[in-house]
Chains A and B, each alone.
Chain A
Amino acid sequence: MTYSVDLTTVWAFIIAFAVFAYVVMDGFDLGIGILFKFFEAGRERDRAMNSIAPVWDGNETWLVLGGGGLFAAFPLAYAVILPATYPLIIAMLLGLVFRGVAFEYRWRDPGHRRYWDAAFTGGSIVAALAQGMTLGALLQGIEIEGRAYAGGPFDWLTPYTILTGLGTLAGYALLGATWLVWKLDDAGQDHARRLARWAAAATIVLMGAVSIANVFLNEEYATRWLTAPEIYYVWPVPLLTGAVAVMLWRALSADRHSKPFWLSLALFLFGMAGVGVTLWPNVAPPSLTIWDAAAPYSSQLFMLVGTVITMPLIIGYTAWAYWVFRGKVGDEGYH
């Protein structure tokens, strides 16, 4: 399989990019959902919703690219990870159903708006927890026999995965709150900033806890993170994460608009880099490497051509759509 080594690595990075893009972009949508209950019914909620209404659908598409890309480039990984985390994936999908329709329904039915607001919050929380726990289930390892998942139906449920679920929940809340610090003004912005500080504290504590727990998951991870010479290569990740956390805290204590959001993004970037370092070169630890799971050269090459052509366009028009709706959110909504 040596002929496909480079392409397989390229695809691992493309999918990592798609997952990162999804996590930060839908992360702030879901974060607003997670925090929705804390906003006053009426103007505050409407504006929070309006700040993401034009972009949430595009943000969610990265999830389809992450899943679809995994299916196409690493079909075997897709075929073992999804059955292994079956209840989590189903819960996530149903959570996203409630979250997605609430965008439209809450405006159509003022009489039942509070129910759809609750669906928006509940769906966002379920989706965030399920995604975080899926990540945890992946990191703690998946039992495979032959070409199929061979573990039990609840292997994914452990204290570690609960920790990763809560960490993701807090992280998304942080992204959502800092997005609103950027997009709102006056009292709404102050409220968002207060929420962001809580979310930042929770995120930093949980990220630390997950990192420590991660090292104790198995010897392989402990070796990778705690012994020389690996330690010299990998420790910049936690150190930079710590530095970003400090900067974020200071930005949230000052009158900054967009800076907390960008720093939260950086926090996620380094968190993802940590996940990458832990996983590499597996796609489903402990034994399934990206090369074991890779689609044949022809499939990966065919998709790469499409990706190279379309990805700059996608990034271009997505950026344009964000630009069209730039600035603080007004009350009138968009027409």
Chain B
Amino acid sequence: MFEQADALLLARIQFAFTVSFHFFFPAFTIGLASYLAVLEGLWLKTGKALYMDLYKFWLKIFAISFAMGVVSGIVMSYQFGTNWSVYSDIAGPVIGPLMAYEVLTAFFLEAGFLGVMLFGMNRVGKKLHFAATCMVAGGTFLSAFWILSVNSWMQTPTGFEIGANGQMLPAGSWIDIIFNPSFPYRLVHTVLAAYLTTAFIVGGVGAFHLLRERADRRRGIAGEPNMHARKMFSMAMWMAALVVPVQIVAGDYHGLNTLEHQPQKVMAMEGHYNSYPDGAPLYLFGIPNDEEQRLDYAVGIPKLSSLILKHDLDAPMAGLDTIPDDEQPPTAIVFWSFRIMVALGFAMLGVGLWSLVARWRGKLYDWAWLHRAAVVMSPSGLAAVLAGWITTEVGRQPYVVYGALRTADAASPLSASAVGASLVAFVVIYFTVFGAGVWYILKLMGKPPHSGETGVKRGDRGPIRTAGIAPGLSHNQGDNGQVGVLAEPAE
């Protein structure tokens, strides 16, 4: 009994760890694939080499993060069976097909065209290459579509019945299962989050190079203004200014949907241990105390929560006191992760508005404090995404399929030592391997984007031919730091 409880906890930690690590990569690459498609499209349309330079600058980064996303994603696809076999058996008939559709429509599409996107620039025509980029971008979106449908079904399950063997069987239409009540909201909120994650990283990199250019000027190393850094900063700030407000509205709708279908999650997010018959306060701060069922040191604004969630100052709101103890999520994690996400969202909005003011005054590339803020905020999307997922995943506990299957009843019959050993292996290997990958990405980001960027190269024997698009031989700086002057093959 004790042993099983340990095994369960370890399995939960392992899933939380591997899925959190994994999601950083798709959160970034979903947006980056679309950004690359936009850059290549603009290059085809305008013929400006600058867009192709930016494309190649980000393509190298895309290649690394995509590889990390793929290998950490395969771990996820098998972890349902290795660690959550009871869940797989029971929920498999419903969610298995959705995941199969993800493989068939998304993974193959991404993987099939990725090779051409990364290495095929000189082997296919320009338009065909652009089509390959679009296919990869479309694949990342379809992947998000299906996996979010699966996750949403686990949050708001519909269209199933329990069979004689205990399995959840599809009943009625698959449309009801795929488009379950929380799916449209979660899809919009998550995809916008991925776009913003990318936008803030791109913006942060652009701002970093603008700051460095400024520092160089101060030291008297006068260089040409880096138009590449300006362009990426400007594009990212347009995204921040225009998409963050949309995302805040989308998040609000998502919250209303959660209130309708998973009220205890919202109670935990709000820290509402008690019911409020005539208007609930919005707590800005507090220390949730599950044992005593109260919010310690609470600082709140009266009636604001009712206004936000019910659009009525005096609307009654039920609290966790209406929910049996064994149906409540752990409040503290949900309460705080939700606040972190919201705070980051508003900070992102601040950067977006600030950039609008700077642009209005014609100072977008001059305001150093804006650039510093953008650098600091570059991982904000990733952090907000993680906080958001913690809110929604911890908030639906103690269930894995909401209201239908408890997490505690879903794990594989494994010993605590087996799960513990694999958890240690995952932690050690993920930090080393993905730590190295992130380091390589940061190194690539740290190199100033320039004319004649090379794409993803695969050969380090002497100078590399940069045949084809935008040769720019004098700038032909190799990925490994070598500067190739002559376009001679190694042989």
Q: Which residues of A contact B (CB under 8 A)?
A: 42-43, 46, 49-50, 53-55, 57-58, 60-61, 63-65, 67-69, 71-73, 75-76, 78-83, 86-87, 89-90, 93-94, 96-101, 103-105, 107-110, 147-150, 153, 295-296, 298-299, 302-303, 306-307, 310-311, 314, 317-318, 321, 324-325, 331-335
Partner of A79, one of B85, B443, B461: B85
Does any Cβ of A come within 8 Å of B368's Cβ? Answer: no
Q: Is the CB of A86 within 8 A of B99?
A: no
- The 9 tightest CB contacts between A and B, nearest first, are A75-B92, A333-B458, A54-B115, A72-B96, A334-B119, A82-B81, A333-B459, A100-B71, A79-B89
Q: Is the CB of A83 within 8 A of B458?
A: no
Does any Cβ of A come within 8 Å of B343's Cβ? Answer: no
| Residues of B107-124 whose CB lies within 8 A of A | 107-116, 118-124
Across the interface, which residues of B come within 8 angstroms of A80, CB to CB? 85
Q: How far is the CA of A72 from the CA of B430 in the complex (A)?
A: 28
A-B contact pairs, 24 of them (CB 8 A): A46-B458, A50-B459, A57-B70, A63-B74, A64-B103, A65-B107, A71-B92, A72-B100, A75-B93, A75-B167, A76-B92, A82-B81, A93-B75, A94-B426, A101-B67, A110-B480, A295-B92, A296-B93, A298-B169, A311-B104, A325-B120, A331-B459, A333-B459, A335-B455
User: What's the dominant secondary structure at chain B's contact region?
Assistant: helix
Does any Cβ of A come within 8 Å of B86's Cβ? Answer: yes
Across the interface, which residues of B come within 8 angstroms of A64, CB to CB? 73-74, 77, 103, 107
Partner of A97, one of B72, B107, B108, B418: B72
Residue of B with least CB distance to A87: B418
Residue of A with least CB distance to B56: A335
Partner of B458, one of A76, A299, A317, A334: A334
Q: Is the CB of A318 within 8 A of B108?
A: yes
Does any Cβ of A come within 8 Å of B360's Cβ? Answer: no
Q: Which residues of B contact A (CB under 8 A)?
A: 63-64, 67-68, 70-75, 77-78, 80-82, 85-86, 88-89, 91-94, 96-97, 99-105, 107-116, 118-124, 135, 163, 165-167, 169-170, 174, 412-415, 418, 421-422, 425-426, 429-430, 433-434, 436-437, 440, 443-444, 454-461, 464-468, 479-480, 489-491
Residue of B with least CB distance to A113: B460
Q: Given the interface contacts A72-B92, A90-B82, A100-B67, does A153 sit within 8 Å of B457 by beta carbon?
A: no
Partner of B74, one of A60, A79, A86, A296: A60
Q: Is the CB of A335 within 8 A of B74?
A: no
Q: How far is the CA of A65 from the CA of B64 in the complex (A)?
A: 23
Residue of B with least CB distance to A298: B170
Q: Given the interface contacts A60-B74, A64-B74, does A43 sit within 8 Å of B96 by beta carbon?
A: no
Q: How far is the CA of A227 from the CA of B63 in the complex (A)?
A: 55
> In the complex, what's the smallest C-beta–C-beta distance from A29 to chain B, in angstroms?
12
Q: Given the interface contacts A76-B89, A100-B70, A105-B437, does A58 sit within 8 Å of B459 by beta carbon?
A: no
Q: How far is the CA of A61 from the CA of B106 in the complex (A)?
A: 10
Across the interface, which residues of A come within 8 angstroms of B412, CB to CB? 79, 82-83, 86, 149
Partner of A83, one of B68, B167, B413, B459: B413
Partner of B479, one of A108, A153, A332, A334: A108
Partner of A43, one of B82, B88, B118, B490: B490
Q: Is the CB of A79 within 8 A of B88?
A: yes
Partner of B418, one of A65, A147, A153, A335: A153
Across the interface, which residues of A come within 8 angstroms of B167, CB to CB? 75, 296
Partner of B414, one of A54, A63, A78, A86: A86
Q: Is the CB of A105 within 8 A of B63?
A: no
Q: How far is the CA of A154 from the CA of B139 in the complex (A)?
A: 39
> In the complex, what's the smallest C-beta–C-beta distance from A156 to chain B, in angstroms?
12
Q: How far is the CA of A335 from the CA of B464 in the complex (A)?
A: 10
Q: How far is the CA of A334 from the CA of B421 in the complex (A)?
A: 40
Q: Is the CB of B124 within 8 A of A306?
A: no
Across the interface, which residues of B come within 8 angstroms of A103, CB to CB? 67
Residue of B with least CB distance to A69: B100
Q: Is the CB of A331 within 8 A of B85?
A: no
Across the interface, which residues of A come within 8 angstroms of B464, CB to CB? 332-333
Across the interface, which residues of B come within 8 angstroms of A104, CB to CB? 63-64, 67, 437, 440
Across the interface, which residues of A come within 8 angstroms of B490, CB to CB? 43, 331
Q: How far is the CA of A167 from the CA of B124 in the complex (A)?
A: 39
Given A105-B436, A335-B122, 15 additional A-B pairs, CB 8 A: A43-B490, A68-B96, A68-B103, A75-B91, A78-B81, A79-B412, A94-B429, A108-B479, A109-B440, A148-B86, A295-B96, A325-B115, A333-B459, A334-B121, A335-B119
